[in-house]
Chains A and B, each alone.
Chain A
Amino acid sequence: MADATKVATLSAEAITTEEQTPTQLVMRRFRKHRMAMFALVLIAIVFLISLFAKQLSPFEVDELMVGKYFAPWGDVDEATGRVHYMGTDNIGRDYLSRLVHAGRISLTIAVFSVLIGTIVGMAVGAYAGFYGGTIDSVISRFIEFLLTIPTLPLLLILSSMLIRNEDLIPIPAPILYGAGKLMLLAPYQARQGVLIILIFAGLGWLASAQLMRGSTLALREQTFIEASKSLGATDMQVIFKHMVPNSMAPIIVEASLALGGYIVFEAALSFLGFGIQDPIPTWGNMLAATQTFMLDKPWLPLVPGLPIFICALAFNYVGDGLRDALDPRLKK
């Protein structure tokens, strides 16, 4: 009988798998998506490059090298010994410096548009979904209509009006100063960037509001919400403790896809000439400028064009990976 007691005292750790927090689970699932991981590394590199834009660019953005037009790659400036690693453009500005600064501007615009749009959208969506009623039906009709209208005509008209009449919307000087620091621009130049952010956020909140409203409506009927209400939780507590965390998954996916989308939209606006204007470098207006010289220098459009494509692709892959990781049921 004494033998029996010896048999099995396996520790709990040996027979159960280690407990994982939801975050760890998501991270593990995300890491399995190889393309998404690769894309994430690419995005990190792009972010690092734009973070150190000032240190990486040998020249000032609008420094004109008189007489040096279309200098070849690796051309050396005799006076100061600085190198035009990617040559110069048609009026003698250093290409690499402009490219790197353009990245900084594009990313800043995309990130802030997504941040503002998502926060506003979540607030509106939560309010409409939680309280319902006439306000809800008016807001959701409004959102539905705006979401079905083709985006580009709308973006074009807004940005063409606002960029040409920069002073139409008063923007407080501290915001311009801050945005200028972020985009490495003088405050008066930053105005264009801020306007584009306002336009993108102004159209971007619609999608996240719709998502937030949908999940709030679904969650409202759940028993745990009822339970927390009956325990005396205020509306704010219910919204911030339960509604928001439980609705985050689709909103995060949407936001990561929107980041890529805004980079493309910003480039498209600048490309068409209704976005950020020339002395300020963006990938879009640099690409537009190469069109004129495409016949003689066919490789030229690739230089500003590829970063746009790579960023769009990378953010889409990350969004895809996040969708799989955050909600395996959505996996297609």
Chain B
Amino acid sequence: MTGYLLRRVLQMILVVFLSAMASYAILNLAPGGPLAGLRQQTQTARNRITEEDMARIRAYFELDLYLPIRFSRWLAGWPRGPIVVAGTEFFANTPIGCRKNIEGLYKDDKGNMQSKVIGCAEYVYLTSLVARRTSDGVIRGDFGNSWRLNRDRPVTDLLWSRLPKTLLLAGIATVLSLGLAIPLGIYSAVHQYSKFDYFFTSFAFAGTSMPTFFFGIMMILLFSIVFKNLGLPYLPPGSAAAVRDWTMPWFGIVAAGSTLDRALHLVLPVAVLTIISVAGWSRYIRSSMLEVLRQDYVRTARAKGLTEKVVINRHALRNALIPFATLAVFTLPALFAGAIITETIFSWPGMGRLYFLALGEYDYPVAMAILFIIAVLTVIATLIRDILYTILDPRIRYT
């Protein structure tokens, strides 16, 4: 088992490294990024942006370094200067980037003039990195500074400020979903072909096909807008707390930022998340329960004269939950990543919305940090799942 675990951990590190490299490349290969708007400004604004300004801004975002060097500095905070071995500097004058590009004009296939980098006027060398600000690297827990959303503040601060909100929302939703999905799935399976079962399976089917964004909008429409227009007590449609006190018909004034206010803001997003995952999970539990109920050992338990309650709870349920437990492990990365769509619709200040904003605002360090943590959590969840298999099903052994 130790050997197996060791091998798995090595594999996990490799997988995380490769996926980080891939997502870093995707984000950085594309032109534009934080410099996208600058080009247009140089042509129109009175205070022109000079080549020197451009080089300075590129250096600020590290965009003047070649991709592998940039990636290595992001991942490990290295290199920070010439490589020194036994007092001797190596590669001090190897170009590792280009400070000022030479751009040539060419005609594209539509006949428009386009500019293209054709050479380098001024290189960046390892020695010039000494003076630069460098992050400690992702492997030491430093994700660098945010580019846009929280300019020049560490990404980690941004993540820490959003994480509690996401954990609150996703945590409540997950606990509620588990609490509802398991009993509903079991009841529906035990009473297969009953009226409840028919009603429930159609509900669950509609729920799994329901696009989250449409469902969320419908909820806002009904419980916030229509209820408000009708003068009924309504629920706030967005954000985590009100900015100023608001009046709820029939109940009176809700103070901004009070516990009641926060709780009311939670209701709609939690409801959307819960209903959608209850639909999916309970279908899963129902089908695995149905499968278990057909097994010989359940018939044996009944033949022994055990009460139906004991048969269901002790003999059937435990086995029916094995596949579900392994599935539920993957809520770990999902909990962290937050519900991107739900958080965006309800303007919930959590991780999912942060990721959405980071992509929209070209804040790549933030997006990269979230992607990286998702990848790490995913491989950890996979490992936990495989270990859970051996605990829940002793027939499985890893060597």
Which listed residue, B11, B32, B375, touches A149 by the CB 8 Å rule?
A: B375
A316 neighbours in B (Cβ, 8 Å): 205, 208-209
In the complex, A316 Cα to B205 Cα: how many Å?
8
Asked whether A309 and B32 contact (CB < 8 A) given A148-B381, A287-B217, the answer is no
In the complex, A149 Cα to B377 Cα: how many Å?
9
Tell yes or no: B156 within 8 A of A by CB: no
* Residues of B186-223 whose CB lies within 8 A of A: 205-206, 208-214, 217-218, 220-221
Scan B356-378; emit 1 where CB is below 8 A from any A CB, else 0: 10011000000100110011001
A308 neighbours in B (Cβ, 8 Å): 211, 214
Are the C-beta atoms of A161 and B27 separated by less than 8 Å?
yes
Asked whether A157 and B27 contact (CB < 8 A) given A148-B381, A274-B359, A305-B218, the answer is yes
Report the interface size for chain A: residues with CB under 8 A from the other chain.
41
8 contacts between A and B (CB under 8 A): A141-B15, A150-B333, A152-B341, A157-B367, A160-B360, A268-B213, A271-B341, A291-B217
Are the C-beta atoms of A287 and B214 separated by less than 8 Å?
yes
Give the interface segment out of A74-82, A128-136, A224-232, A294-302: A294-302
Are the C-beta atoms of B360 and A273 separated by less than 8 Å?
yes
Tell yes or no: B330 within 8 A of A by CB: yes
Residue of B nearest to A263 (CB): B211
Residue of B nearest to A165 (CB): B30
Which listed residue, A268, A273, A317, touches B211 by the CB 8 Å rule?
A: A268
In the complex, A68 Cα to B269 Cα: how many Å?
36
* Residues of A264-300 whose CB lies within 8 A of B: 264, 267-268, 271-274, 284, 287, 291, 294-295, 298
Tell yes or no: A168 within 8 A of B by CB: yes
Question: In the complex, what's the smallest C-beta–C-beta distance from A43 to chain B, in angstroms?
Answer: 13
Are the C-beta atoms of B360 and A267 separated by less than 8 Å?
no
What is the interface of chain B mostly: helix, strand, loop, or mixed?
A: helix
In the complex, A165 Cα to B29 Cα: how many Å?
10
A301 neighbours in B (Cβ, 8 Å): 214, 217-218, 221
Scan B70-93; emit 1 where CB is below 8 A from any A CB, else 0: 000000000000000000000000
Question: In the complex, what's the smallest C-beta–C-beta distance from B173 to chain A, in angstroms?
Answer: 15
Question: In the complex, what's the smallest C-beta–C-beta distance from B257 to chain A, in angstroms?
Answer: 24
A320 neighbours in B (Cβ, 8 Å): 205
Are the C-beta atoms of A158 and B356 separated by less than 8 Å?
no
What is the interface of chain A mostly: helix, strand, loop, or mixed?
A: helix
In the complex, A158 Cα to B286 Cα: how many Å?
35
Are the C-beta atoms of A309 and B210 separated by less than 8 Å?
yes
Are the C-beta atoms of A312 and B211 separated by less than 8 Å?
yes
Tell yes or no: A219 within 8 A of B by CB: no
Are the C-beta atoms of A272 and B356 separated by less than 8 Å?
yes
List the interface of chain B (C-beta within 8 A of A). Answer: 11, 15, 19, 23, 26-27, 29-32, 205-206, 208-214, 217-218, 220-221, 225-226, 229, 286-287, 290, 330, 333-334, 337, 340-341, 344, 355-356, 359-360, 367, 370-371, 374-375, 378-379, 381-382
Asked whether A148 and B382 contact (CB < 8 A) given A161-B30, A268-B211, A272-B344, the answer is yes
Are the C-beta atoms of A145 and B214 separated by less than 8 Å?
no
B218 neighbours in A (Cβ, 8 Å): 301, 305
Are the C-beta atoms of B211 and A309 separated by less than 8 Å?
yes
In the complex, A215 Cα to B193 Cα: how many Å?
32
Are the C-beta atoms of A156 and B356 separated by less than 8 Å?
yes
Question: In the complex, what's the smallest C-beta–C-beta distance from A323 to chain B, in angstroms?
Answer: 12
In the complex, A160 Cα to B375 Cα: how many Å?
19
A22 neighbours in B (Cβ, 8 Å): none
| Residue from B32, B217, B334, B371 whose CB has the most chain A CB atoms within 10 Å | B217
Question: In the complex, what's the smallest C-beta–C-beta distance from A156 to chain B, in angstroms?
Answer: 6
A150 neighbours in B (Cβ, 8 Å): 333-334, 337, 374, 378
In the complex, A254 Cα to B141 Cα: how many Å?
40
In the complex, A112 Cα to B218 Cα: how many Å?
30
In the complex, A309 Cα to B218 Cα: how many Å?
12
B211 neighbours in A (Cβ, 8 Å): 264, 267-268, 308-309, 312
In the complex, A267 Cα to B210 Cα: how many Å?
12
In the complex, A150 Cα to B210 Cα: how many Å?
18
In the complex, A137 Cα to B267 Cα: how many Å?
46
Are the C-beta atoms of B32 and A165 separated by less than 8 Å?
yes
A272 neighbours in B (Cβ, 8 Å): 213, 340-341, 344, 356
With contacts A144-B382, A284-B213 known, what are 20 further pairs, Cβ within 8 A? A145-B15, A145-B378, A149-B375, A150-B334, A152-B341, A153-B337, A153-B370, A156-B355, A160-B360, A165-B31, A260-B209, A268-B211, A268-B213, A271-B341, A274-B360, A291-B217, A294-B221, A308-B211, A317-B205, A332-B286
Question: In the complex, what's the smallest C-beta–C-beta distance from A192 to chain B, in angstroms?
Answer: 15
Tell yes or no: A164 within 8 A of B by CB: yes
Residue of A nearest to B189 (CB): A332
A287 neighbours in B (Cβ, 8 Å): 213-214, 217
Are the C-beta atoms of A168 and B371 separated by less than 8 Å?
no
Which listed residue, B205, B229, B371, B382, touches A153 by the CB 8 Å rule?
A: B371
In the complex, A313 Cα to B208 Cα: how many Å?
9
A141 neighbours in B (Cβ, 8 Å): 11, 15
Residue of A nearest to B226 (CB): A298
Question: In the complex, what's the smallest C-beta–C-beta distance from A70 to chain B, in angstroms?
Answer: 17
Are the C-beta atoms of A294 and B225 separated by less than 8 Å?
yes
Question: In the complex, what's the smallest C-beta–C-beta distance from B369 to chain A, in angstroms?
Answer: 12
